[in-house]
Amino acid sequence: MYKRLLDRLLRWTLSLDVWINRIYPADFNPLYYTGGLSNLFLTVLVLSGIFLFLYYVPSFNDAYTSVQYITGAVPFGLNGVPYGQIIRGIHRYAADGFIIAILLHFFRNWFTERFRFSRDEPWISGMMLLVFAGFIGVNGYMLVWDQRAQLLVAMTGNTLAAIPIVGGALRSALFGGTGTTNLLLPRMLFLHVGPATALYVMLWWHYVRVRHPKVWPPAVWTLFSLGAVFLLSALIPAASQPLASTGAAPDRLAVDWFFLLPYVALKYVTPAWLVVLAVVIVVYGLYIPYQLPETPAAMGIRDSGIAQVVDANCTGCELCYFDCPYNAIVMVPSPHPGVTRAAQARKELAIVLESRCVECGICIGACPFEALELPGYLEEDIQGKVLDACRT
Amino acid sequence: MSDVKPSPDRRPRIVGFLCDWAVSSEGLVREDGTMRDLPSVTLIKVPCSGFIRPSWLEYALKNGADGAFVCGCPLGDCFNRLGNNLIADRVVQMRRRLERQKIQPDRVGTIFYGLHEQAEFVAAVREFSDRVAKLPAPPPPAPARKAPAAPATPAATGAPSPGGPSRPGPTEGGAGETPSGAPPGQGGS
């Protein structure tokens, strides 16, 4: 059932690719670079965020005014921060781009089953990145301390309080006490910046098993994304809502559809159900890589076996080490010389880390010295098949 | 080139390596691996197009195939990572090597199509096959180890090639019933 659904989604994803490849050369298909686009937007966010951080004041009295000062809004006019309006717009729209790119990346890699084999770690770190990115985005809307921010604080508090037993404690921990306390904005500022730094730690985890990750999109798409963000921030200036009132929180929410979707859901479900839903989604997301059969044998495709290094032939040239997509090959100091003439002077020896090998055989194609083999699919087998093919 | 023989009646014999994750072979191949639409093309399934050693393409050419190609996922969308880009680069390098060996580089090729693009894949293979069919027969190879049925070219020095499998000129007209029944030299194992 799930498998059939996944097949259908894969078909749609690939036909979307085909359609886009008709417009662009395959090297420039933006859907092949969703990860790189996310990273690009994250970089833009960090740079513009540093700029905003220099001017932002995390206190109830000054937060709103400092944001108005950055953007040169009404009381300040030209006395505001130069280009502050543009930078704030960039920060806002790059955040939207970030979450779109992340979600595209998430769905694409889900539907094309790129969570298989040893890719569970990139998948799980990616889930963490997604959760953190959403959290940071919501925080950012609280920092402005306009009416929307106040409403968000109230809604978040209510949702957390709906968790049985620990809810109240969680709420106090997040907001520094019940209700809106003086600790709220400094804490939110830290929770905006701190996890943003943690994103880079998780990115390292995200990349650690990936050889040659496509960290940046092609230059065309870099320029296009930057241009789009600049253009949007100029055409639709990012603005605050009216200042948060000290009285009751407003009852209407100006929605940013990319970050505040869960809060829209609060209109239809009770806070307790929202919490349940969020937990289910995240836990299921973490479970995705383990849902389908893992090994090639269980999947019904060829079971070639872990790639094996032929000690006698390995020259320590590192070609397989560079090409292995999963960083499954490491070079170690050679314990003894090889047997063939090319291998006698070797300094290093390739070792396959079995837990990471997915039996794709890319190292076999990389090796010019016949020093790697898939035990279930040897070079002899291939040559036998070629001979058969030539005979028929 | 006096020996240009398009030989329209004879389909060139082609060996194709097909990635497991690229074009689905369901309904495309027969039991023995030949393609349903193009019986002269045999597909060999491999775990990834990056798995292919270019020497295997060469091996196919030297053992009686008229052409050899690799099919992988669309460039940029390797299920693993860059396997198809790697083989694309390697085939480009291999073409130069073939030129030096006086084998037409057009006899090897790469094709990149995704899982569901079977029709396009078949069309591309047909085009490849037609292109190979139009190529002139390659010059006769270095002397065969055993005297073949066709008169051997006296050009070489007579020293039998020690290791490499002999290449019994596959496209020598319609009568090119090459002695491939006897397994060629297994030197490359």
pLDDT bucket at B167, cuts 50 / 70 / 90? very low
Name the helix (H) or strand (E) containing B111: strand B108-112
pLDDT tens-digit readout, B130-145: 898 888 876 665 665 6
ipTM above 0.85, yes or no: no
pLDDT of residue B139: 63
Per-residue pLDDT for B181 more than 60? no
Question: Do residues A250 and A378 both lie within one domain?
Answer: no
**Can you tell me the distance from the alpha carbon of A80 to that of A68, in angstroms, rounded to the nearest whole number?**
8
Which of B53, B77, B80 has the CB atom closest to A325's CB atom? Answer: B80
Q: Is A359 on the interface with B (CB under 8 A)?
A: yes
- List the single best residue of A117, A306, A387, A391 to mutate versus B (max B Cβ within 10 A): A387
Question: Do residues A287 and A309 both lie within one domain?
Answer: no
pLDDT of residue A106: 94
Q: Is A34 on the interface with B (CB under 8 A)?
A: no
For residue A102, give the 3-state DSSP assignment.
Answer: helix
Mean pLDDT of chain B: 74
A297 domain-assigned: no
Do the chains contact at A211 and B34, CB–CB below 8 Å? Answer: no
Q: What percent of chain B has pLDDT over 90?
A: 22
pLDDT of residue A292: 79
What CATH number is given to the structural domain containing A385? 3.30.70.3270
And the tokens for A60?
Answer: 């109830």
pLDDT of residue A260: 79
Q: Which residues contact A336 (CB under 8 A, 6 or more apart)?
A: none
Smallest Cα distance from B27 to chain A, Å: 17
* Full strand arrangement of the beta sheet holding B67-72: B41-46, B14-19, B67-72, B108-112
Whose tokens are 């939207």? That residue is: A96
Domain housing A93: 2-291
pLDDT tens-digit readout, A320-371: 999 999 989 999 999 888 888 888 888 999 999 988 888 888 999 999 888 9
pLDDT of residue B9: 52
Do the chains contact at B115 and A17, CB–CB below 8 Å? Answer: no
**Can you tell me the distance from the alpha carbon of A270 to that of A374, in angstroms, rounded to the nearest whole number?**
55
pLDDT tens-digit readout, B54-102: 999 999 988 888 899 999 998 888 888 888 999 999 999 999 998 888 8
Do the chains contact at B80 and A360, CB–CB below 8 Å? Answer: yes
Question: Do residues A265 and A370 both lie within one domain?
Answer: no
pLDDT of residue B146: 57
pLDDT of residue A60: 84
**Can you tell me the distance from the alpha carbon of A338 to that of A371, in angstroms, rounded to the nearest whole number?**
10
pLDDT of residue A252: 65
Mean pLDDT of chain A: 87
Smallest Cα distance from B90 to chain A, Å: 9
Which of B48, B53, B114 has the CB atom closest to A14's CB atom? Answer: B114
Question: Do residues A166 and A310 both lie within one domain?
Answer: no
What CATH number is given to the structural domain containing A197? 1.20.810.10
**Can you tell me the distance from the alpha carbon of B43 to that of B69, in angstroms, rounded to the nearest whole number?**
9
Tell me how far CA of residue A110 lies from CA of A123, A278, B48, B114, B162, in angstroms.
Answer: 9, 18, 20, 17, 53
What CATH number is given to the structural domain containing B52? 3.40.50
pLDDT tens-digit readout, B18-59: 998 888 888 888 888 888 888 888 999 898 999 999 999 999
Q: Is B107 on the interface with A (CB under 8 A)?
A: no
Domain count, chain B: 1
Do the chains contact at A302 and B83, CB–CB below 8 Å? Answer: no
Q: A-contacting residues of B 21-50, CB under 8 Å?
A: 32-34, 42, 44-48, 50
Name the residue in chain B with its Cα closest to that of A358: B80
- Residues in A touching B76 (Cβ below 8 Å): 26-27, 29, 32
A50 domain-assigned: yes
pLDDT of residue A116: 83
Distance of CA A38 to the CA centre of its chain: 7
The low-confidence residues of chain A, meaning pLDDT below 50, are none
Question: Do residues A285 and A386 both lie within one domain?
Answer: no
Question: Do residues A284 and A366 both lie within one domain?
Answer: no
Which of B64, B117, B188 has the CB atom closest to A390's CB atom? Answer: B64
Q: Are the beta carbons of B40 and B13 closer than 8 angstroms? A: yes
Name the residue in chain A with its Cα closest to that of B54: A365
Nearest Cα to B41, choosing from B143, B146, B133, B126? Answer: B126
A18 domain-assigned: yes
Q: Is B65 on the interface with A (CB under 8 A)?
A: yes
Domain count, chain A: 2
Residue A298: other Cβ atoms inside 10 A: 10
Per-residue pLDDT for B165 more than 50? no
